[in-house]
Amino acid sequence: MIFNGIDHIRHNESDNFFLLAGPCAIEDETLALKIAERIVRITDDLKIPYVFKGSYRKANRSRLDSFTGIGDEKALKILRKVNETFGVPTVTDFHSAPEAAMAAEYVDMLQIPAFLCRQTDILVAAANTGKVVNIKKGQFLSAGAMKFAVDKVRESGNSNIVITERGTTLGYQDLVVDYRGIPEMKESNNCPVVMDITHSLQQPNQLSGVTGGKPELIETIARAAIAVGADGLFIETHPDPANAKSDGANMLHLDKLETMLKRLTILRQAVNQL
């Protein structure tokens, strides 16, 4: 499949939002293909431009014994297979500048983790691959401060940029979404803005060493994001969140995705008419 960067997801005949969705981490090939097949069918029916998401490695873990991945090359090859099997672009996050070129060989979009969104060498390395760069807003940053992260990528010669809102730290163990930031980042940076629904519902820094979450509020966050003009949604989903190897506490059960997306598509149509 030929992926035409931002235009591929920003301009579509249905004028719908686009979707970045998949498991938190690549656990195995069978599961990744199962999830991708289900979401491809749903998004094709609803005319939602779709990008499959999966992390080839989880670097930011609370405990040393937490699951981090099945091996970089093995996971990246699975991401490539998703693309080749279903004809959809893929996105993954990476964690150091040298990894950018490695990951870019396998995926269409590179994601900058929120905690790393100020790291100049990582932003420049992503820009230099020529891939679409999705910068997740740090939990510690204002919407306005994201201009400087965007500028680093743009001034490095890459204008294929997406910004993802994922909530702002509230105290030690919670996050809150400031929806004013979505239109602000769209206007000031002239690039699509995505709402990362599931990560914005995390409850980090639990004493157990395992991040908690509020998945019952996923549709609430999604509706509000669509209402204020988000261009895309980011949703981590799994057929068995309770037994997922990473971030199961805040993931959407795959069986609930289709009904929710149908309702959100209706809402998007209403917003477009305003």
Digits of tens for pLDDT over the chain (274 positions)? Answer: 446 667 777 666 679 999 999 999 999 999 999 999 999 999 999 999 999 999 999 887 777 878 889 999 999 999 999 999 999 999 999 999 999 999 999 999 999 999 999 999 999 999 999 999 999 999 999 999 999 999 999 999 999 999 999 999 999 989 999 999 999 999 999 999 999 999 999 888 766 766 778 999 999 999 999 999 999 999 999 999 999 998 888 899 999 999 999 999 999 999 999 8
Residue 110 has which token pair?
A: 């590179």
60 closest CA partner among 121, 116, 13: 116
Residue tagged 């509000």 (tokens): 224
202 closest CA partner among 172, 226, 233: 172
Helical segments of 105-202, H only? 120-128, 146-154, 181-189
88 and 1 in contact (C-beta within 8 Å)? yes
CATH number assigned to the domain with residue range 6-272, chosen from the 4 options 3.40.50.970, 3.20.20.10, 3.20.20.70, 1.25.60.10: 3.20.20.70
DSSP E strand stretches across the chain? 18-22, 50-53, 90-93, 109-112, 132-136, 161-165, 168-169, 175-176, 193-196, 202-203, 212-213, 232-238, 252-253
Residue 158 has which token pair?
A: 């890459």
Position 106 scores a pLDDT of 98
- Residue 19 amino acid letter: L
Q: Residue 59 CA to chain centroid, in angstroms? A: 16
Q: Distance of CA 180 to CAs 224, 226, 247, Å?
A: 11, 13, 27
Position 202 scores a pLDDT of 86
Residue tagged 């693309």 (tokens): 83
Residue 166 has which token pair?
A: 């994922």
DSSP state of 17: P
Q: What is the pTM of this model?
A: 0.94
- Residue 150 amino acid letter: V
HSE at residue 95, side-chain half, CA atoms within 13 A, is 9
Q: How many C-beta atoms lie closer than 10 Å to residue 21's C-beta?
A: 27
The rounded distance, in Å, linking the Cα atoms of 221 and 25 is: 22
Residues 6+ apart with CB under 8 A from 149: 112, 117, 118, 123, 135
248's enclosing H/E stretch is none
The rounded distance, in Å, linking the Cα atoms of 104 and 195 is: 23
**Residue 77, SS3?**
helix
110 closest CA partner among 86, 29, 122: 122
